[in-house]
């Protein structure tokens, strides 16, 4: 019977690694989590994670799950892996780590690669004409592989394979250099339209990598390999267990929230705050105001707008007002007190770009505007939540215009979804109903759904969502708040960048270098 079959997903986040097991009826059977150490920085703007941490954490949580399942481990039919994206690690010919991870938070750049590529690569002018100068510059400058090429020659010369976090765990599980198409996020020679590696050799030259250094790719819901004897000893998982392609964390969240159509959006209030839709056709933006990534639904895409310092701003706020162990207490207090503050935070406004949006607002700096002696920390807290929603509304309007669609409901996931205050002000600022899910582990749920489809537990992704994902509460826009937020969004938020650009450029002269 279906109810006697289980599926597992591994969810590698920025702050933790989880292993979850679901039944075919959508019940959560086991949930184990281990906190990761935060990234470390050897230079301003750098962000690295120790090479061994990810696999070590995966082994810990899988062994705990196996112990919890006991004899029911025989019911486990498949496992999938999802992870935070745009992290790269190089391996040598024996599959050993050469160095630590360079993560998605890392801001190092390689401007010298732009000039060299423009002058030394044959046919580069055709690439610039086809893809645009901005794309060419981004590929050269932001490539982690180019950084190795120019700054770590030993790493560059020894690198046999480059893997994402999902790809690394898949390799450890299966002894195969395999990965899902949905993990190919960031500066990679990946053709989003065809969902495969580029055929153009020149793209690899510009980025600084060879085709043979990349893994074989699989669509979501396809089996990439099986647990080896060695992996079984390390993880406790049964030999031969199928390992299924899922996707990146944000795409899995979009599937796991139940956003299937262009009239539905998913907001993820995480460290990286994102807003994404699902489309059966590729809808990209050559200016990169938003990115389009492979969906965890096969042959579909997720147009996605992001704010690098999303709910990270809430952590920043906590650092100013509490010891780390007291963060939950402070947040509970702030959510209660800020609820009694009117929309617009009594005239206190936060511009949330502690890190700039490199396309829309490249010179942006974070700002807190409108302080008076009546404002308290709860006003600042509410203004921070409002600011993140303003920025994501900005992104939604761009995507809607490009896709010629209108979103009618928003699923909200991530830490912010637990706050009634955040849910209500999101509904008010977007003027769209917002939905909180009973299922909090939506990323793991999305990945598990892909595994369930692969082994026949679910007929398709929609059946998987209907089984696993459950709604808890709907928040509707309040008219009186909507009018206030429209005024602030149009006359303060939308005008802030242009009005302060000259000021920001002047102040930037005195900002310590963020990258190297």
Alpha-carbon span 461 to 302, nearest angstrom: 15
In the chain, the N- to C-terminal Cα span, in Å, equals: 57
490 belongs to a structural domain = no
Phi-psi region for residue 26, left (φ > 0), alpha (ψ -120 to 50) or beta?
left
Contact 387, 349 (CB under 8 A): yes
Mean local confidence (pLDDT), 7-19: 94
Residue 27's pLDDT is 92
Q: Please, where are the H alpha helices in 100-161?
A: 111-120, 124-131, 133-141, 144-151, 153-158
328 belongs to a structural domain = no
User: Looking at the 3D structure of the chain, how many domains does it have?
Assistant: 1
93 belongs to a structural domain = yes
224 belongs to a structural domain = yes
297 belongs to a structural domain = no
Query: What's 181's domain CATH number?
Result: 3.30.420.40
Q: pLDDT tens digit string along 37-77?
A: 888 999 988 999 999 999 999 999 999 999 999 999 999 99
Average predicted confidence (pLDDT) for the chain? 94
Which pair of structure tokens corresponds to residue 502? 């000259």
Q: pLDDT tens digit string along 182-239?
A: 999 999 999 999 999 999 899 999 999 999 999 999 999 999 999 999 999 999 999 9
Residue 138's pLDDT is 86
498 belongs to a structural domain = no
Q: pLDDT tens digit string along 145-186?
A: 999 999 999 999 999 999 999 999 999 999 999 999 999 999
388 belongs to a structural domain = no
**For residue 515, pLDDT beyond 50:** no
Residue 513's pLDDT is 55
Mean local confidence (pLDDT), 462-467: 93
440 belongs to a structural domain = no
For residue 82, give its domain range: 2-108+143-249
Alpha-carbon span 89 to 386, nearest angstrom: 36
Q: pLDDT tens digit string along 239-272?
A: 999 999 999 999 999 999 999 889 999 999 988 8
Q: Strand, helix or coil at 166?
A: helix
Which pair of structure tokens corresponds to residue 59? 């082994």
């Amino acid at each position: 019977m279906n109810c006697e079959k289980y599926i597992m997903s591994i969810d590698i986040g920025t702050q933790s690694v989880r292993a979850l097991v679901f039944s075919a009826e959508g019940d959560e059977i086991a949930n184990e989590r281990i906190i990761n150490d935060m990234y470390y920085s050897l230079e301003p703007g750098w962000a690295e994670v120790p090479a061994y941490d990810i696999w070590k954490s995966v082994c810990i949580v899988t062994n705990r799950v196996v112990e919890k399942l006991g004899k029911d481990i025989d019911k486990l039919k498949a496992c999938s892996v999802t992870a935070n994206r745009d992290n790269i690690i190089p391996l040598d010919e024996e599959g050993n780590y050469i160095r630590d991870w360079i993560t998605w938070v890392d801001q190092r750049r390689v401007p010298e690669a732009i000039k060299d590529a423009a002058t030394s690569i044959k046919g580069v002018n055709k690439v610039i004409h086809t893809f645009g100068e901005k794309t060419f510059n981004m590929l050269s400058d932001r490539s982690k592989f180019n950084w190795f090429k120019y700054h770590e020659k030993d790493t560059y010369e020894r690198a046999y394979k480059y893997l994402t976090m999902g790809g690394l765990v898949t390799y450890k599980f299966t002894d195969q250099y395999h990965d899902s198409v949905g993990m190919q996020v960031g500066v990679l020679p990946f053709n989003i339209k065809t969902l495969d590696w580029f055929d153009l050799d020149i793209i690899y030259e510009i980025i600084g990598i060879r085709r043979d250094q990349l893994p074989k790719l699989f669509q979501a819901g396809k089996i990439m390999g099986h647990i080896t004897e060695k992996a079984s000893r390390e993880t406790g998982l049964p030999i031969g267990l199928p390992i299924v392609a899922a996707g990146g964390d944000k795409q899995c969240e979009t599937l796991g929230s139940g956003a299937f159509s262009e009239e539905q959006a998913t907001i993820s209030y995480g460290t990286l705050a994102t807003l994404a839709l699902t489309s059966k056709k590729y809808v990209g933006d050559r200016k990169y105001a938003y990115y389009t990534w492979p969906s965890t639904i096969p042959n579909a895409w997720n147009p996605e707008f992001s704010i690098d310092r999303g709910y990270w701003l809430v952590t920043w706020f906590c650092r100013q007002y509490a010891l780390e162990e007291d963060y939950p207490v402070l947040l509970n207090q702030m959510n209660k007190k800020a609820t009694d503050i009117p929309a617009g935070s009594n005239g206190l406004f936060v511009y949330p770009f502690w890190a700039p949006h490199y396309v829309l607002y490249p010179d942006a700096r974070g700002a807190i505007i409108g302080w008076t002696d009546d404002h308290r920390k709860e006003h600042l807290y509410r203004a921070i939540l409002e600011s993140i929603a303003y920025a994501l509304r900005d992104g939604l309007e761009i995507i809607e215009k490009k896709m010629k669609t209108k979103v009618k409901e928003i699923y909200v996931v991530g830490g912010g979804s637990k706050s009634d205050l955040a849910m209500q002000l999101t509904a008010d600022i977007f003027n769209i109903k917002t939905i909180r899910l009973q299922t909090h582990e939506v990323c793991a749920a999305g990945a598990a759904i892909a595994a369930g489809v692969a082994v026949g537990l679910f007929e398709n992704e929609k059946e998987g969502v209907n089984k696993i994902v459950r709604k808890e509460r709907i928040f509707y826009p309040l008219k009186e708040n909507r009018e206030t937020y429209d005024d602030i969004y149009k006359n303060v938020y939308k005008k802030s960048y242009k009005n302060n650009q000259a000021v920001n450029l002047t102040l930037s002269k005195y900002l310590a270098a963020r990258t190297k």
